[in-house]
Structure 1
Amino acid sequence: MQNNSIIYIPRINKELTNIGRHPLTIITAPMGYGKSTAVKQFLSGSGLRHIWISLNEASMDTGYFWRVLTTRLTGVNEELGKTLDGLGFPLDNMQRSRIIDLLKKFSPPEDFVLVLDDYQYAENDLLTNFLISIIKYCIPNCHLVIISRYLLKYDIKELSAKNLVCTIDQKTLKFSNEDIKKYFINMSMYISKDEISHIQNLTGGWAAALYLFYRGLTYGMPLENITEINELLKKALYDSYDMKTRQVLCSLSVLDDFTSEMAAYSTGIENIGKDIERLSSENAFINFDLTIKKYTIHSVFRSFLYKEAVNSEINIQEIYRRAGLWHIGRNNINHGFYYLFKGEDFDTMLKELEKPALYVRSSDRPMMFHYFEHIPADHFNNHPIAYLKFILMFIITGDKKKGASLLNNFEEELPNRNYSNNDLIEIKAAIHLIRVFLSFNDLDTMIYHTDEVLKLLDGKASVISSFQGPFSFGSPHLSYIYYKEPGTYKKISETPLEKYARASGGAGVGSESLCAAEYCLETGDLSNAEIFAIKSLYEAKSRHQTSMAVCAAFTLARIYIIENRYSEAISMLGNLGHDVSSNIESILLNTYDLCLGYIYACTGEYEKIPKWIREGDMTINSLLMQGAVFSYVVYGKSLILSENWSKAEALCETFTNYFGIFNNQLGFLHNYINLSIAAYNRGEMSKAKSWLLKALLIGQEDKIIMPFAENRARLISVLNLVCIDDGLNMEYVSKIIKMCSRYDEIVSNFNKIVLTSREVEVLKLVSKGMSRSEIAEKLIISAATVRTHIQNIYQKLEVNKKSEAIDKAAKLNII
């Protein structure tokens, strides 16, 4: 409401000061109790930095909610907003953990408040659980305010017990008789005690009604004639406008928020911009939000107006439809589809979806599935390509069974459809392209369907395809996905995978060079591996193939480690961080983490392995199980590095089932190595040798060396148990032992921490409990010099406090 219609209520403001004292404040009361007005007034007077987001029905979709949130955050912190947008709404624990870490990194230096108004529109278990998880982590200086008409479905007892939440309800917000008296005095109007009682009895302390009573009294309306709130809205406000203004108001009530330009396009009313400006200046129920530069109508008034619009001759569906077109024309697909769906303009939605340039991000697919379930089937008959795009979305999101069933039913019905020859060719090509995904991990079948696409379209790309999807299926190692039988690795590395790039309009460019690089690396041909990997990296980047670029960089990083080029390895992966975070598919962030986790496991830097990997948070929300569960390869390596041998052995034994889903030979090989190391360290030599033989028998068929070498000295002792009687090529085993020794010597140098003699001397005195001044006196140096030495020690040891420095130095035999 406008300032002249607001009254300051000390007890309400006192309650609202709790916003800055708790991570979460929940304000609940029915519509019209002044929840939003009170919070806006408080935030305005407090000077707290904040973002205010008014939610609507579309916010029930987490993708829509996330787009609104990240857009607003970008205005405050561009890097944070864009990074979160790239991540997408967290649909699994891995993504949730990453977002929480990101929020901690960007935690504001001063109190900052995020307000989610009308949360009842957005509330769902997925969103609420995510918000609560953030609250539990207590991001410094961050405060969330949830304003809702109803109590949350989530049980907040745990939050209350930990003093993480403050609740404000209808009882606090309700206006007392004294508040009503002050309100009218503030508006320069005196009313009697009887009139105050009448208002209280009618409204129950409903704040929004006070403004309406004020307007009614201003126009000479007798209070005793008002017995119902809608009647009050009509007589005190609505009836005071002429017919044209009523039409404007009713038309605007269809829109959640609007600019003057959008309102003009959506309603078709000439000069509506001037009407909006006039109404905003004289009506407390119409506000202009300076942050988003849009108008909104107070929910109380909007609800009333919408009912009036329904009973009028206003074409509500046409306003929805034109609002959808307005957003589509500005590439705002989420808002556009929301309005088009409400306007039941399903054909325009499906036409947009059929456009080759439109790629639906993973975070937006849940809402698309909602539309799919509610669009009448006969509309899909006229838009087969859109229907096939929906099928493809189901498959790549993980519901392969449903996608296959829908596709089979579609093919059965195809002969009964009257499509033109050209349309039939496109449809058949699209079906083959979908079958490429259904044939995941079966390289020969995938190539067959790719060839069929190219034949049907004379070498052109299918309209259903997009170069933007992650060709690696979330794996940082492309050939890992297709290597299913021992003895076939070289053949796989020579497969013409880039046929798919032609069929899809560019997805997978660089894949042939990449597979060649990966094969050379795994077999120890480092020189050719580097040549092919660099070629793949350049090819991939030239066509914006981030997934291929990540795989190529991962391959190069592994090469650089064994070539004693550690800084280049880390720099290679670090440079890709920005490209990955801004990529349209958030699954690549998991891929990038897997790269980091693998490299740091190889170099022995356990603490640098991403937390979700170290903790084994393997919840998979990914493209065909995160590239055939490569995540378990990295988790297995982190388990070995943790040296909890019993846990490592127990868990790695279960991983065999995951690798068996797609028969990933490199997955089996890595896992057998991990099991061998764990068993050996538990003193079970026979078992250790048995597991290692399984790995060697797989590797020997294709002369694979690198996975063994990357386990360094910890594997040499087990390798020495192997003899010629075990049916192995001992020359092959000798090569592995030699490479393990080389790798261990190089990596050991990475981990050497060199402190100067003076730094060691200072640290020893610190470990004895001496203060800086005492150390300075003993060593005859200044206290400032001691402080500098300690800072250098912390930096070299990568610690933040004295106890950590002493513990780490002791483990490294420095002191």
Structure 2
Amino acid sequence: MSIAKRYNQKALFFSVILKERFERIFEYPLTIVEAPMGYGKTTAVREFLNNTGANVLWQRVYGSSLDSFWHGFSRLFAELDDFLSRNLEQLGFPDDSISRLEALRLIEDLEMTVKTVLVIDDYHLIDNFLVNSFIEFLVESEVANLHVILTARYTELQGLDELKLKGYLYHITKQTFELMPKDIAGYYRLCGIRLKTFEAEELYSLTEGWISALYLLMLNYIEEGSFRTITNIYNLVEKAVYAPFAEEVKAFLLTLCLFDSFTLEQAIHMWQKENAGLILTEITNKNAFVKYDHKTKTYQMHNIFTNFLKDKLEGKSVKQQIQWRAAQWYLKEGNYFASMHYFYACKDFDQLLFALENNKANGVNNANRRELFIKYFKECPDDVKSKHHFALLIFALSFIIYREPVLFEKACREFIGNIQKDDSLNNEFRQRLLGEYELLLSFTGYNDINKMSEHHQKAAKLLHEPTSFIDLQANWTYGAPSVLHMFYRESGRLEKHVHDIIEALPYYYQITNGHGSGAEYVMEAERYFNMGDFINAEIVMHKALNNARTNNQTGIVICALFLQIRLSIWKGDYATVLDLFQVMHESISDLGQSNFNHTINICEGYVYSLLKQRDKIPSWIGSGDFSSSRLLFPTVPMLNIVYGRVLLIDGEYLRLIGNAEHFIGLASVFPNLLGQIYTYIYLTAANGQIFRTDEAIFALIEALAIAMPDKVYMPFVENCDYIKPFLEQLYNQGKYGEDIIRILELYKTYQKSVECMIKENFSAEEKPDLTERETQIAQLAADGLSNKEIGERLYISINTVKTQLKSIFEKLGVNSRALLKQEFKEKL
């Protein structure tokens, strides 16, 4: 064998077949590059994309955490649109249909004018069916100019075969990366080594074309002048890569092996010496297992090398110190859950609770973190918890949300015991802690206004500043679009409930900096509305809206707008209904508060079920799919109000009757009288449709018995299309005479309004058609052109395109370009 005098150990070689396969990536929305560790997947994808002129968004997966995955995914878009990136992150991982649609809308709004490639590297590490589902949804939506590449050792996409059949997926497998003998000879030639034919064949037999093994054998050859048969890849890494480094470099590598990717600043933090940059230069110059990405300004370790170093770190006394430094890095960066993970790994519970307190109560309502909070609380030593009073309050709040009463009581006992024994607390700070504790206890009194207010008033006397452990950006209504729905709990006392909440909430506002402002007026306005006093309802509604907007309380704004929508239905003003829904969507989009999408969907489901427009009801509501972790328990009775009406208009009478007991049970927990009233009304309707008159009358009497002491008429008015004969039957029997007369009077006006709206806006012969200009824009949008491209093609501004698309979406009843493509082409 003849040997060149100079070696190029970092030369990159790609076989002809690999190049040919990669050339087809842009023909598909999704490409999966699948091969075991060490086959050069990441390097090949990176090098290919560098020469395409495409805009590349690169995400590396480090584990199975949904939070970490979504944080990384969201930040990818920061360089293109920081507002979009923040909106995506604020949305949280889209784990249900509505949040997936919102994520899609945000990404589509980016208007990618050049080919954009989203690479998710080491995708197998996430190993989560929810992420798989989101990726499949994104791909099938065919976002214009967006291509997704997943690199993975293995893939378990549920719809893999279907994606292939539909032409969405291009699959590059291990065989593409295997170097045949002639390829091995070509690779070694680039590196400065000339092989004879039999040597290349022997290397192929030994490695089966695995380039990492070929690389390590080459390093071994350069060092010793011969190829040695070493079957264990880590032995090769040890001998050819790790051993030649000086001891300081080896120690440096161990300090960074927790990260597959890191910045120079991160390296300096971990190494705690200023020569980190010099060491990194030496490392990257000597081997291809650590590379520097100039675009992201990060150093990236190959998985084989990272795993080797992690094995080396096991059992070493320095491991705990390295984990602690990693935790401190994430703490400094504000990534509190990552810092808690590493503090837990090195059992530094003091710093773990410090990180928890810095994070306050942000994110505790995420059901995916339930087990983490329980684990941290149970394993943290008592003497550590005794020094972290705010942490115990956060734990206790999380246990309320996770419905863990035993752990809640334990956290409360520990909190009170600790502050009593803590001699370091001055009287002012002890009072502050007790004030925070009273605020915490108020949540245990939900939805009893007076019980909650007792704690709020005590807290207001003790706190001289707003609370510092509650997430004041959270939705005050827990996602429900009705305050009356939340706090109407005793029949005959609705007026008193309204009076109580008006008296009580100022104390709460004092200690929460106005959180939920306007809620009391929403409830007052809703009472007037349900009594049929629409003038007072509208007056007070505007008062609520002004209060909520002044204090940036988006959840209360949505509640007020929802009531305004119901008033508009009463007037038969469908144009205003559409405008108000648009205001709702804009109010959450402009503020980056897309977590309210579920709330808006509930409003939409409610309205379109009244108008019997089944196709406009959000699919997740129509199917009764309420499994999303975003839905908090107080919202569920309101969802059942909508879902019950959907079952009614679907003709699912038996299912509705079968579900009624469950609906009433859920509405009785706090209790929630509106949920009970509507369910009994639906039982009346459903039994009536299957000619069970006695059962229908019995259910109607139950509903009237709850509602009539408070003159809550509108639930009956809105469902008179099903229950009118039974109301008349009761009237003829001399029961609830005055109330039934009032309900039927209100229904005359309401019925005319609804029939008029349906005739003018939803009848087939009257369905609005697209104008010529709208047809042009819809065609171009369906073909995948961005707003900018459409504007250039038609010589109109981007704003005009956006306005026209809004009109097109409303006329066709769609809310994304993907649905537009389907609906518009069907219309043609």
TM-score range for the pair, normalised by the shorter chain length: 0.7 to 0.9
Residue 607 (structure 1) aligned to one of 581, 599, 615: 615
Q: Using a 3 Å threshold, how does the CA distance of structure 1 residues 659 and 277 change in structure 2: closer, same or farther?
A: same
State the distance in 2 between where 1:23 and 1:794 align: 25
Displacement of 1:472 in angstroms is: 0.9
> Which position in structure 1 is the counterpart of 2:562?
554
> Map of 1:274-289 to 2, 5 A cutoff?
274-277=278-281, 279-280=283-284, 283-289=287-293
State the distance in 1 between where 2:260 and 2:347 align: 17
State the distance in 1 between where 2:148 and 2:441 align: 45
Q: Using a 3 Å threshold, how does the CA distance of structure 1 residues 349 and 534 change in structure 2: closer, same or farther?
A: farther
> Which position in structure 2 is the counterpart of 1:72?
76
**Helix, strand or coil for the counterpart of 1:666?**
helix
On the 8 A contact 1:321/1:344 being kept in 2, the answer is no
Residue 223 (structure 1) aligned to one of 224, 227, 238: 227
1:515 aligns with 2:518: no
State the distance in 2 between where 1:128 and 1:374 align: 33
On the 8 A contact 2:336/2:359 being kept in 1, the answer is no
On the 8 A contact 1:670/1:695 being kept in 2, the answer is yes
**Helix, strand or coil for the counterpart of 1:116?**
strand
Residue 350 (structure 1) aligned to one of 353, 372, 375: 353
**Helix, strand or coil for the counterpart of 1:751?**
helix
Residue 738 (structure 1) aligned to one of 745, 750, 774: 745
State the distance in 2 between where 1:607 and 1:107 align: 28
On the 8 A contact 1:61/1:366 being kept in 2, the answer is no
State the distance in 1 between where 2:108 and 2:643 align: 24
Deviations 1:747-803 (A, max 9, x none): 3333333899x999x99xxxxxxxxxxxxxxxxxxxxxxxxxxx9x999974899x9
Amino acid at match of 1:699: A
State the distance in 2 between where 1:223 and 1:168 align: 31
Deviations 1:301-337 (A, max 9, x none): 2333445566888x45444434443443343334444
Amino acid at match of 2:665: N
> Which position in structure 2 is the counterpart of 1:575?
583
State the distance in 1 between where 2:648 and 2:113 align: 39
1:433 aligns with 2:456: no
Residue 42 (structure 2) aligned to one of 26, 36, 40: 36
> Which position in structure 2 is the counterpart of 1:449?
455
1:671 aligns with 2:688: no
Greater Cα offset, 733-742 or 487-496: 733-742
1:174 aligns with 2:178: yes
State the distance in 2 between where 1:140 and 1:682 align: 50
Amino acid at match of 2:527: Y
Q: Using a 3 Å threshold, how does the CA distance of structure 1 residues 402 and 581 change in structure 2: closer, same or farther?
A: farther
Deviations 1:244-286 (A, max 9, x none): 5444434333433222222223321214235435644564222
Q: Using a 3 Å threshold, how does the CA distance of structure 1 residues 598 and 132 change in structure 2: closer, same or farther?
A: same
> Map of 1:463-474 to 2, 5 A cutoff?
463-474=468-479
Q: Using a 3 Å threshold, how does the CA distance of structure 1 residues 216 and 130 change in structure 2: closer, same or farther?
A: same
Amino acid at match of 1:627: T
State the distance in 1 between where 2:766 and 2:436 align: 67
State the distance in 2 between where 1:453 and 1:651 align: 41
Residue 599 (structure 2) aligned to one of 558, 582, 591: 591
Displacement of 1:231 in angstroms is: 4.3
> Which position in structure 1 is the counterpart of 2:773?
none
Q: Using a 3 Å threshold, how does the CA distance of structure 1 residues 678 and 308 change in structure 2: closer, same or farther?
A: closer
Displacement of 1:291 in angstroms is: 5.1
State the distance in 2 between where 1:804 and 1:288 align: 47
Residue 755 (structure 2) aligned to one of 748, 752, 760: 748
Displacement of 1:739 in angstroms is: 1.5
On the 8 A contact 2:90/2:595 being kept in 1, the answer is no
On the 8 A contact 1:475/1:627 being kept in 2, the answer is yes
Q: Using a 3 Å threshold, how does the CA distance of structure 1 residues 636 and 339 change in structure 2: closer, same or farther?
A: same
> Map of 1:143-182 to 2, 5 A cutoff?
144-149=148-153, 152=156, 169-182=173-186
On the 8 A contact 2:261/2:300 being kept in 1, the answer is yes
> Which position in structure 2 is the counterpart of 1:769?
none
**Helix, strand or coil for the counterpart of 2:119?**
strand
State the distance in 2 between where 1:556 and 1:472 align: 17
Q: Using a 3 Å threshold, how does the CA distance of structure 1 residues 677 and 102 change in structure 2: closer, same or farther?
A: farther
Q: Using a 3 Å threshold, how does the CA distance of structure 1 residues 85 and 340 change in structure 2: closer, same or farther?
A: same
Q: Using a 3 Å threshold, how does the CA distance of structure 1 residues 353 and 652 change in structure 2: closer, same or farther?
A: same
Greater Cα offset, 516-525 or 214-223: 214-223
On the 8 A contact 1:94/1:619 being kept in 2, the answer is no
> Which position in structure 2 is the counterpart of 1:781?
none
On the 8 A contact 1:48/1:111 being kept in 2, the answer is yes
Residue 414 (structure 2) aligned to one of 387, 410, 413: 410
- Give TM-score scaled by structure 1 length: 0.81
> Which position in structure 1 is the counterpart of 2:13?
7
Return 5+ residue gaps in structure 1 as ranges.
764-790, 809-815
Return 5+ residue gaps in structure 2 as ranges.
1-7, 771-804, 815-819
**Helix, strand or coil for the counterpart of 1:576?**
helix
> Which position in structure 2 is the counterpart of 1:619?
627
**Helix, strand or coil for the counterpart of 2:376?**
helix
On the 8 A contact 2:436/2:463 being kept in 1, the answer is no
State the distance in 2 between where 1:117 and 1:76 align: 20
Greater Cα offset, 685-694 or 696-705: 685-694
Q: Using a 3 Å threshold, how does the CA distance of structure 1 residues 380 and 565 change in structure 2: closer, same or farther?
A: same
Displacement of 1:386 in angstroms is: 0.8
Displacement of 1:492 in angstroms is: 0.9
State the distance in 1 between where 2:326 and 2:308 align: 21
- Give TM-score scaled by structure 2 length: 0.80
On the 8 A contact 1:462/1:504 being kept in 2, the answer is yes
Q: Using a 3 Å threshold, how does the CA distance of structure 1 residues 146 and 546 change in structure 2: closer, same or farther?
A: same
Displacement of 1:399 in angstroms is: 2.7
Q: Using a 3 Å threshold, how does the CA distance of structure 1 residues 168 and 369 change in structure 2: closer, same or farther?
A: farther
Deviations 1:147-205 (A, max 9, x none): 33456497967777878766555454333322211101223421234643554455443
Displacement of 1:487 in angstroms is: 0.3
> Which position in structure 1 is the counterpart of 2:784?
none
Q: Using a 3 Å threshold, how does the CA distance of structure 1 residues 667 and 181 change in structure 2: closer, same or farther?
A: same
Q: How many aligned residue pairs are there? A: 769
Deviations 1:677-697 (A, max 9, x none): 344444555544443333333
Amino acid at match of 2:399: F
Amino acid at match of 2:497: I
State the distance in 2 between where 1:101 and 1:184 align: 49
Q: Using a 3 Å threshold, how does the CA distance of structure 1 residues 645 and 181 change in structure 2: closer, same or farther?
A: same
**Helix, strand or coil for the counterpart of 1:53?**
strand
On the 8 A contact 1:469/1:585 being kept in 2, the answer is no
State the distance in 1 between where 2:735 and 2:369 align: 52
Amino acid at match of 1:288: Y
State the distance in 1 between where 2:101 and 2:547 align: 33
State the distance in 1 between where 2:144 and 2:647 align: 31
Residue 381 (structure 2) aligned to one of 369, 377, 383: 377
Amino acid at match of 1:301: F
1:390 aligns with 2:395: yes
Identity percentage of aligned residues: 27
> Which position in structure 2 is the counterpart of 1:634?
642
Greater Cα offset, 349-358 or 172-181: 349-358
1:262 aligns with 2:266: yes
1:89 aligns with 2:106: no
Q: Using a 3 Å threshold, how does the CA distance of structure 1 residues 159 and 563 change in structure 2: closer, same or farther?
A: closer
Amino acid at match of 1:533: M
State the distance in 2 between where 1:361 and 1:287 align: 38
> Which position in structure 2 is the counterpart of 1:190?
194
